Amino acid sequence: MSGAREKKRAKKMRNQPASVTLPAEPGPFGGGGSRACPTPGDVHSEQQQKFPNQPSGPSYRKDQYFSKGQSRGERGRGRGGWQGGHQSVSEEMPKYITVSAFAQARAAEINAMLKAVSQKSSNSLVFQTLPRHMRRRAMSHNVKRLPRRLQEMARKEAEKAVHQKKEQSKTKCRKARRRHINLVAEFNHRQRKNIWLETHIWHAKRFHMVKKWGYCLGNSPTEKSYRACYRAMTKQCLLQDLSYYCCLELKGKENELLKQLARICSIDTGLTFQDASCLSGRFEGSLNLYRADRYPEDMLGPVTFIWKPRDGSENRQLWIWVHPALKQDILKELKAIFQCSEPEEICISEPVTASEEKQVEVVTGNKRKKEDKEGEKAVPVKKIIGDGTRDPFQSYSWISRTTGIAISDRTMEILRYRLIGPLSNSILTETLKAASVQTEMADSETELNNWWVENCKDSEKVSLHQCQSAIFELLEGMSSPSDMPPGTILGLTVGDPRVNLPKKKTKAMPDFEKYQDKVRQLYLKGVPADCAHSFIWDHDICKNVTENKISEQDLNHMRAQLLVPGSHLDLGPCESKIPILLVQQPGKMAGEDRPGWGSGWDIYLPKGWGMAFWIPFIYRGVRVGGLQEALKHSEYQKTPHTPNDFPDCQAGMQFAKELETSLLEKFKRHPPAKRANYVKLGTLSPFICPWGQLTKNWEGRMKASGGFLCPSSPHPDCCTTEGQTLCDPKAEAVREASPENGEAEETMEITSSEGALKTEDLTQDFGERDETKTSDFIVLRSEKLLMQLSAWCYPTAGKDRRIRLISRLGQKEMTEDVFLPILMSYPRALVWVNLSLLRKGNPELHAMICIPTEDDLLHLSKDKLFCGPQEPKHRDIFKDKVQKQKEEKKRKKKKKKDVKSLESDPAGIPDEEATEDHEDLVLGLWSDALPDVTSHCSRTVLGYVTRGDFSLAVGCGEALGFVSLTGLIYMLHNQPADKKGLVLLRTPASLQYRFARLTIEV
C-alpha cells in the first residue's frame, strides 16, 4: 500500500478502540462486504480453529479485502451475494473486544454524525445545502417549500436575519436629490470641516482640489496650462479667487487705532498704518506685522490694509487682509493690544423650522444619514453655497470697554477676486456697467434697491457716483493697470453683470483712441480721494444686496419671455445694484527689469454674488489660475510668498515642517536603490532648511576668526569635522577607485557627530524645536540696510564704475567701519536674495548657496564656458549602522515567526528597547545631530533656496532664497570688485556646482 493510502486508512481508523485487534493476513473474500461482529464468547474459539498459524499484529493490504483478479465493483455482488460476503466476514472476526471502550467509541461516532446532520458546516443557508436538483426559487422566502426536516432550521435562520438586518435608509430618487434646496443642504453638510468658496463647484470640475488652511481650494488646472497661464499674466488676463483671504475689520477713534497699531509695525520696514496716502483712503498699503514692541523679532506675517475714506466723523473703519495661515496669530495680537476680550455679539442664525428641517435632512446613503442628535447644537440652514461655515455659538466680534475699539471678523462676508494682466482694464469695463440712477422704488413690497433709491435722492452722492463712473470708463483706454498709481482704490456701484452676458465667449480688447486726452489727465492727477468711497463698507447694505439677489431661475424665466430670443434683457428698476471696490495691484516694483509685470485689479464683492461675477469674467476671455499660479506670479515678481517664504513666523515654520514630512514620506516610498544617498552627496538637510543653525554657525565663524581680517573658508579639497575648530580643518580627502569605470574619485571623509564637542552655538534646526519657542534668527527687512547691501553686490565690470555707482545711489563704500556695526546689530539675520544662473542649470527646492573659492573665480575668468566645480563624494558613515539595524529587524522578525508566544513573553521587551535608538535611521539621510552646516562641504554654505525653476521671462534658471547676513558681507568683502555677487548653487541630489549672480531687489 502506498503512503497516501496508508495515511487515508489511518485517518479512517483513528476513532477505533484500542481493544479491537484485526488479523494480520486473512484469507481472500469471495463476495466482499462489511464485517459482522459475533458474540464475544464464540470469537476466540473460532479464530483458534480456523487460523492456528496466524501471526500477531494487523496488516492492511489490498488483497485483504479483494481476491486476485477481483475488482471493486464486484464487492458485495459476487456469486455468493450478501450471504457469501457475510460468511466470509465471519471468518475474520477479531479475537476479543472490550465492550465499554467499543461502545464509547461508537457513541462518539454517532454524536459526531448527528451533529454534522443537524448543523451546517458552512456560511450557506439551509436551502443552499440541498442538491441542485432539489432546489427551488421560492425556498428563499417560503419555508414550506423546503423538506420538513429542514424547515425548523430555516425558520431560525429567518428570525436571526431579521434581528441582524440593519435599518435601511430611505434614499430619495435622483430627481429629488438634485433639487436645488436639497443640493445646497447636501453641499453645506459636506463643507463642515473644509469651507467651500462660492466658486468651489466650478473649480472642482476643472481643477485639482487641495484642502489647506481650513478651505477646499483649487491647486492647478487639470489641463496643460503652465505656459498658457504665464502668457495670460504677461499679455492677456488671469483670474484668481482670493476669497479665502481673511478680512479683519477695526472700528474706533482714529487716534486710538493709530496709537496701538504703531506698536506692531515699524517705519524701518517701509509703510505704516499712519502713512498719509493710505490714511486718506485713496491707496492700499502693505506691511509686515510683529508682536507688540518686539521688532525686529517675533514676526507675525505680511498684511494689506485699506482705510475707509473720511466722512466727517471721528470714528474710522479699517480693513486688514491676512492670509488664513496667519489669521489666528494676528487676531490674537490685535485683541491683546486693544484689550478686546469681551465679545460684542454672537452670530446666531435663524432657527430651522420643522418644514425646513425635513428638507435639510437629505439622505443619499448611509454616510449622509442623520441620526438622533439629542443635545447637539443645530446647524443653521445656509442658502448660499460657500457661505461662511461659522459656528453659530462662536463670537466673531469683540469690543474694548476702555478704548471703545471693535474688532470684527468679516471672513467670507466679503469676496475677493484678482485680475492679473494688461487686459484687466478692458475686461472690467466690458463686464461691469455703472448702475443707473434710480429715484423710485420698483416694488413697494420688497426691499430691493431701497438703499440705492435713498442715496440717489442726495445730489452730492449722485454726482460722486457719476464721477466714479467716468473714471471707471477711462480704464478702457489704458494699456495696462500698471499705468495707475500703485494701490489706487476706486469705489463703484454696478448693475447685475448677468444681464450683459454675451452669447458666446469673446475677448475684450482696449480702445486707446477713445479716451486719449482724459486718460492723460488721469495719469497726472490720479483718482480723487472722494471716489474711493463705496457702499460696501456698510454692513446693512451688503446684507440687503445679498438677500434680495434675483435668482438664476427667475432670471432665466425672464429671458424666456423675451419676444426676440437672445436679445438684451432690460430689467429696468428691478435690476440689482451691487456696491464693489476696485484696488489696483502694482505688480513688479523692485528691480530694474520688467517693471509693472503682473499688475492687475482686486475686486471686492458682497457675499452671495460670487458666481454672478465669475461667469461674466470667464465669458470675456480670462484664464483661471489656482494656488500654483499664484505661487508662480510671486516668483516672477521676485517677492516672498505667504507662508512659504516667511521662515521667521509661526506659519512659515509650520509650513516647513509639513513640507519636510511630505518630502520624507515620498523619499521613503522609493526603494533604497532608486533614491539618492544624501550623505554621500554631502547634503545634511535635503528636506528642510536649517536656518537657525546656519545663522549660529556663521556667528561662530565670525567670533572664531576675529572678524573678517583672517579668512576662515575651508580648503576646496577638504572640509571640517564637527569636533574641530573652523580654522583648523582635519578632514582628509581619500582617493578610492570607482568600481564602475575604474577612475579615481575624491571622497570626503566625514566623522560622526558622536565625538563632537557639545557647544551652545551648535543646535538643531528650527524644525525640531517646540512651536511655542521664538525663532533664534530674524529676517532683515530694513529698507535702508537692504538698499545698502543691494548696492554692494550690484553687478559691474569695473572697479571705478562701481564707486561711481555707489555714490550715485547715495550709499557708502564697503569698509569695516560701515559693515561691522551692521553685524553687531544683526548677528543672526537672513537676507532675501534673488539668484540667476550664468549658464545652464535648473535650481531646485532646498538647493545650497555657496561661496566660490579663488580658484573657482580664476577658472571662470579664464574659461567663460566653465559651469562650476564638483563636490567630492563623501563617505556614508551611517551605512554600517543602517545595515546592523536591518539585520537586527530580520532576526527579530524570524524569532517572532518561530516562537508564536513571543507577544505574551516579557523576555522580548528588552530587545525592542534596545532597537529604539536606531529606529530613525534611514539609508541616505544624516541621522545624528547636524554638524557645522557651513563647512560640511568643500564650498562654504551661505544659504538655501526656497523656490527655484526655469524662468520663462528670462530664459534661464532663477531662484529665490535666504542667505546669512554675516556670510554675505564676508563674501562681498573678500571678493574682487569685478566678481562681486557671484555665488555657487548646488541642488541636494547633485555634486555639480553652478555659477549664479546674486542680487537684492528693494
Pick left, alpha or beta for residue 621 (phi over 0 → left; psi -120 to 50 → alpha; otherwise beta).
left
| Lookup: cell for 565 | 430670443
Cβ–Cβ < 8 Å for 604, 577:
no
The Cα–Cα gap between 788 and 1000 comes to 10
- For residues 201 and 384, what is the distance between their CA atoms, to the nearest angstrom? 12
Half-sphere exposure (CA, 13 Å, Cβ side) for 58? 13
For residues 831 and 792, the answer to whether their CB atoms sit within 8 Å is no
Residue 707: name the closest of 819, 796, 614 by CA.
819
What is the C-alpha to C-alpha distance for residues 22 and 65, in angstroms, rounded to an integer?
13
Cell numbers for 146, please give them: 423546503
**Where in 291-436 does DSSP place strands (E)?**
299-307, 315-322, 342-346, 395-399, 406-409, 414-420
CA distances from 311 to 103, 274, 315, 319 (A): 111, 18, 9, 16
Torsion of CA 685, 686, 690, 693, to 10 degrees: 30
Secondary structure percentages of the chain, helix, strand, coil, to 5: 40, 15, 45
Confidence at residue 146, expressed as pLDDT on a 0 to 100 scale: 87
Residue type, 647: P
Q: How far is Cα 994 from Cα 983, in angstroms, rounded to an integer?
A: 8
Q: Distance (Å, rounded) from C-alpha 652 to C-alpha 645?
A: 7
- 348 and 393 in contact (C-beta within 8 Å)? yes
Q: Which amino acid is at 718?
A: C
Instruction: Please list the ranges in the chain whose pLDDT falls under 70.
Output: 1-2, 12-92, 120-122, 162-170, 344-393, 442-445, 707-775, 795-810, 900-920
> pTM of the predicted model, to two decimals?
0.73
Cell numbers at 363, concatenated: 439622505
CA trace torsion 479, 483, 489, 492 (10° rounding):
-30
CA atoms within 13 A on the CB side of 887: 5
Distance CA 83, CA 404 (A): 118
Most distant CA atoms of the chain, gap in Å: 142
Is residue 721 within 8 A of residue 730, CB to CB? The reply is: yes
Phi and psi (nearest 5°) for 962?
-125, 145
* Residue whose C-alpha is closest to residue 655's, from 323, 343, 350, 236: 323
With contact defined as beta carbons under 8 Å apart, do 927 and 920 qualify? yes
What is the C-alpha separation between 273 and 490, in angstroms, rounded? 19
3-state DSSP call for residue 114?
Answer: helix
* Residues 285/305, Cβ–Cβ less than 8 Å: yes
CB-based contact 31:81 (threshold 8 Å): yes
CA–CA distance, 550 with 183 (Å, rounded to integer)? 19
Q: Would you state the cell numbers that stand for residue 398, as one nine-digit string?
A: 469683540
Distance, CA of 859 to CA of 865 (rounded, Å)? 10
Q: How many angstroms separate the CA atoms of 624 and 617, rounded?
A: 10
Instruction: Enumerate the β-bridge partners of residue 316.
Output: 252
DSSP 632-647: HHHHHHT---TTTT-T
**Which sign, positive or negative, has the C-alpha torsion 336, 338, 342, 348?**
negative
